Amino acid sequence: MQELVIVPLIGFVAGFVGTMLGIGGGAIMVPFLTLLGFDIKRVVPASLFAILGTSAGGLRYLLGRGLVDYRLAVILELASTTGALTGVAVFGKLSNKELIAILGFVLVLSGILFLVRQRVVARREKGPGGYTPISLRDKLGRLAAALSASFAAGMFSAMLGIGGGVIKVPILVLVLGLPIHVAVSTSKLMVGITALAGLLGHVATGNVDWLLAVLLLVGTYTGATVSSRVLVRLKARSLYIIAALYYFIMGAYLVIKSRL
């Protein structure tokens, strides 16, 4: 009975906040459900399924506003999908404590990336704006770095139940130069593709708890749909700082917890 109430609520928060930040919401769902006593190996595949709700919720609205770079998303997702399948293979070889420790380290890294991203965005807002789509000819170096980071994001996504947006949005902003709203919206599409690849891998190995997955999906889809209406009008500097603090505190706590 507790699952019927608390799980969709956590999913809603993850979907709402995740859409604003361009992440799948797994960085919220997995730590909190783990702290509530859920087995992380049960939570990770369910979180990937729920991330599909974060990605799909409101995506049509953002597509209609022309905020999603389809071509770039497809190119980067080739690397993320490969990483996700690799992550599924690694997932089965790690213990619960090892997964919790890795999740903690990834969250701390995400906090750092959020702070760096916010400083770059703030600096850009003071200068001239504009967005020019990436050119493969003169930006191969940055594209190679983005592909490498996308592979890592896909691997961590399947291993830890996160969408990979905590890595993808900073890469889209810092390396490829996308405006923040385009980066967040494009990441929204990308995390769904990555999560689907990881989920299919977990389905093949029989790891998915479908009841938990559906309960989370109900929450994430609803939260993401509501949040997407706010995203295009939002200047969320304070939200990024709060998110970074959350990543630092939760990440450090999970690392300590894994040592006990």
Q: CA-to-CA distance for 147 and 62, rounded, in angstroms? A: 24
If you ran DSSP here, which 8-state letter would residue 175 be given?
A: I
Q: Does the pTM exceed 0.85?
A: no
* Domain containing residue 60: 2-259
At 46 the pLDDT is 94
Reference 11, options 213, 193, 192, 185; nearest CA is: 213
Let me know: does 227 contact 15? Beta carbons within 8 Å.
yes
What residue type is assigned to position 54 of the chain? T
At 52 the pLDDT is 85
Residue 141 has pLDDT above 90, yes or no: no
Which has the higher per-residue pLDDT, 216 or 123?
216
Residue 90 has pLDDT above 90, yes or no: yes
45 Cα distance to chain centroid:
14
Give me the percent of the chain exceeding a pLDDT of 90: 33
Tokens 């690799």 identify what position? Answer: 86
At 121 the pLDDT is 60
The sign of the dihedral angle between the CA atoms of 38, 215, 47, 172 is negative
Mean pLDDT of 15-39: 84
Q: CA-to-CA distance for 184 and 180, rounded, in angstroms? A: 6
Residue 164 has pLDDT above 50, yes or no: yes
At 68 the pLDDT is 86
**200 confidence band (pLDDT: 50, 70, 90):** very high
Q: CA-to-CA distance for 203 and 137, rounded, in angstroms? A: 39
Q: CA-to-CA distance for 168 and 180, rounded, in angstroms? A: 12
| Domain count along the chain | 1
Residue 25 has pLDDT above 70, yes or no: yes
At 230 the pLDDT is 67
